[in-house]
Amino acid sequence: MISLTRLNNTRFVVNAEMIRTIEERPDTTIVLVNGETFIVREPMDEVVAKAIEYGRMVRMLPR
């Protein structure tokens, strides 16, 4: 899960493994595999970095 900020400054978390696309239009727009859309304050590069870091963390956990 990664923590993000909506345009109204409320924080929420999203499952990074459910992200289908991330675009800047100019606000950062995240579309999940189920079609749900979020617009966030974080720049696209930051969201991508958080998703990558989450993936690395998950793969490092002992099974």
CA distance 47 to 12: 13
pLDDT at 6: 97
**Taking the alpha carbons of 30, 28, 14, 51 in that order, is the dihedral positive or negative?**
positive
Looking at residue 60, its pLDDT comes to 85
Domain range for 39 is 2-60
In the prediction, which pLDDT does 61 show? 66
Per-residue pLDDT of 8-63, as tens digits, reads 999 999 999 999 999 999 999 999 999 999 999 999 999 999 999 999 888 886 66
Report the domain count for the chain: 1
* Tokens encoding 22: 């991330």
